[in-house]
Each structure stands twice: as structure tokens, then as C-alpha cells.
Structure 1
Amino acid sequence: MDGSVANEALVMRSDADGVTTLTLNRPAQRNALSVALMGALIEELAHIRQDSGCKVVILAGAGPAFCSGHDLKEMRATPEPAFYEALFAQCSVLMQAIVTLPQPVIARVHGIATAAGCQLVASCDLAIAAEDARFATPGVNIGLFCSTPMVALSRNVSRKAAMEMLLTGEMVDAARAQQIGLINRAVPPQALEQEVQALAQKIAAKSALTVKTGKEAFYRQLEMPLVEAYAYTAGVMAKNMMAADAAEGIDAFLTKRMPVWRNC
């Protein structure tokens, strides 16, 4: 944590065995993304970016829900264009901070993940949800189309599935969310924390350099034409091959032993 009382109250952080858990902590508001909460989360992610001891991040929510989206009361309290522009710009910074973070981010979803909360799930690299979790981009129901959530949603699920969620605003259950690719899998609620921890530990056991290299390349190549993507990733792999961890990993495989990562 950064030591500020405000940030400690809004985002709780715990670290164990290379895994950092960030918990949104506005349970009474269903972890609605207020300006202060988004600021606290952006700040935590900035700290984690520089933390070599953190290999994987879990994003969770305190109380009965993962995240209900933007704080509508806060939004209506300041009906000014400049405020709204700054608010949605800040939200975009937050989502991009997750995507560009060197460490993989796993969403641990329970309750609801709606509007910008659904965007948060879609922005994470991986997501595991409780079987009774529900997802929605319901802005259309209140006259505010979920345009910024649409960016992350449309990059994770098929076009028609995204458009159905965006145009109807209806809730999607965890089974459907898994089917369309919004989450990796749905598990019994009582097994949620254990399943997420197991996945996080599996990734944390890998070379941090290799994981960082792969995550960055994954998102960059997605936006490239096929020929350009192959040229780019060929260069990435050639550079990766020169890393100490690549030599160690290959030698360990050939000699049938466990690798000892140096993360370089």
C-alpha cells in the first residue's frame, strides 16, 4: 500500500507467495467505481508494476458484489461535461493500466459485475467467477449506452454476443459468460477463492520475464495484420531466446529437471 488512509480504505492489498490480491472496498456501494476508488486502484497498479516480488495480481471485490460499475450518484452530483470527460478518461487509464501491467491480472468474480464492472472483468487477462455470478452492460436501460465498457467487451467476446449484451442490457449468468469467452470458467461459490489461488500460483511458478514478454506480445499482436503480427512475434521470440531463463528452461527440459528461474 502507499500508506494513505484513503487508499487503504478503498483498495485493500495482500501479498503472499508472489501473488498480490487487490480488493475493491466499497461494499455498501457494490464497489462502484468512484473517482477516488479508480484513483486508488491506478495508484496500486503503478506500485505493482515496479514490484519484482509480485508475479500475479488477483482483483476481487469486498462484500456482496465484485463491481457494479460507475458510481451513478457521484455522476449525477456533478452534471458538467468537463467532469464526465475526466471521469471516463480516468476509467480508460485504469483499464489500460491492467492490460499493460507486466503481471497477469485475474478477476475473481462474485455477485454482479455490471457496466464498468463488466468492463473491469473483460480488461483482466483471466477471470474465474462463481457459478451464481451475473454480468451485464445495462447502460442502455438508463439512457447511457455502455460505450467504454464496449471496448473491452468487444475485444473478448464475439460481436453478436457483445451487441446482444449492449443492446438489451440484460443479465448474463456465469455459464453464458464462460460460453461467450467473458470468463475462463465458472466454479461453485465455495470453491472460488481456491480455484483462483491455484491458477495464480500456477502462473507465479513460471519465469516472470517470460510471462511479461508473452503478455505484452499477446496484446500488441492482436491489433496487427497477420503478416505484421508474425514478423513482430518472430522478433519477440528471437529476443526471448537470448534470455537466461530461456536457456535455463530448455536445459532443464532436456535434462529432465525442474528449472530455477532468474527472471532475466
Structure 2
Amino acid sequence: MLLEAASIFIEIELQTHQSNTLSYHENLSLALAAYQLAQKNLREQNERYLAGLITFQVGLHLEMLEKFHESERLFSMAIDSFQDLLAIQICVYQKLINIRIDNEKFNLALQATTNLIERLVKTSPNDISYRRLLASYDILRLFLLLILQPHPQRLRADYAKTLDAYTWEVYEKLNIPTSYLDETLFYLLQSITLAVQARDLKHIDQLEYDLNQQSQISPRHMHLFHILKQKISGHFIDTFKFDQQTSTTGDVADYR
């Protein structure tokens, strides 16, 4: 009953938002109150999966309403509910990473990406679908590191290892997850890494076409690549924020 009422309220709010009608968000407030009560009841019944799904669903609705900060917090909350349900947890991680990238919270996106990689490595490294996913997020992590360019003295050991692999390693000596990349793509990414470190924009431009032709490269990768190019061109990001901002995972106890 609570979920049905919440769905009605949120649908009205979405219709109002899509029609660009002035709203005081009273329907959203009612929807969130109903969702929160339903979630509380489920947690009291030890139904943490269903409670987590409600949190995720509310986050999706808030994203549609362009309330990105609130939706990011709820995606972050939902992750812990699915420690035993990897497929769902991956979906939540992907939404969290994407919304952080879209809102230029690159350091938090890097943290979430690294957490997802570590989760996948521990779970099923021999599954081909997980290998592809690991390779994809290792590329994402590389581009985020190249965008942020944290000072070497403030660089975490695992991040330093990632950058070293794309700077000095040969393909045959790579470790998981970088070893799941196609060899041609690995050396292409290595060339990009070296060009970025040299701030050689001309060479980076020359490598863009080849990068875009690789089957393991997604639109999300190319989006970050273009942000990286903008930075090299002179649109700098304050890398001090890399160490000052921290992950919001687990920091939010509820929503209103």
C-alpha cells in the first residue's frame, strides 16, 4: 500500500517536472515519506534486499527529476544492501560512477570505480563477462587518474601501480585487471598515458581516431578522453580536491 501510494505521488511529480510546470514538490515530499516508511518496515522485517531496491528506485526517480546530489547519495547507500547480489550491486555501482562523472566529481568516481574493480577481482575473475567489465573499468580508472593527475606524494599505492602499468609494463607481464585488455588497446592506452604526461596534445589528437575504433572502448571512455583533452588544452581541474573530498558511501542514514 505504501509503495503504491509512493509510486502515484512520484508519477505526478515526474509529470509536473516534464511539463515544466511550477512545482513546490509537495508530491515528491509525500512520495519520499511513503518510501521511507516502507523501507523502515522492510528493514525491521530483515528484508534488506527489498529495502535496498527501494533506495535504488528512489535514487533513479530523483535522477530523473535532476536532483543529482540526492540521487548520488541514495545510490551510494544502496550499494551496501547487495553484498550478496553482485549483479544488482554492479548496476548500482554503474549508476553511482556515471552520475559522479556527469557531475564532474572525478575523485569520487575514481573511488567508486576502484571499489567496483576490487569487488569484481575477488568474486569471479575467470568469468568472461566479468573480465570484460573489469577491463572496461580499468580503462575508466586510468582516464580518471589522468584527468585528476594527483601529486605523486599523495598517490595511493594501487593508483600508482595502475599508472606504472600504463607507463612502463610490457603486455606479457600485466596483472589483473589490466591483463584483460586487448594487447593493441593496451599499447594504445600506454601511448596516450605517455603523451598526457608529456602534455603532447598533438600526439593525443593523433591517437584519438585509433582509440575510437577499439571494440573495448565505450562512449563513456570517449567522454572522459575528451575531458582529458580539454584539461591538456588548458582547462585545468584543481587536483588538490583529489585528496580533500571523500566518498559518501555509507554516510547517509536516511532520506527525506
TM-score (norm 1): 0.29
Q: Which has the higher contact order (CA 8 A, sep 6+)?
A: 2
Which has more radius of gyration? Answer: 2
**Larger strand fraction of residues:** 1
**Larger helix fraction of residues:** 2
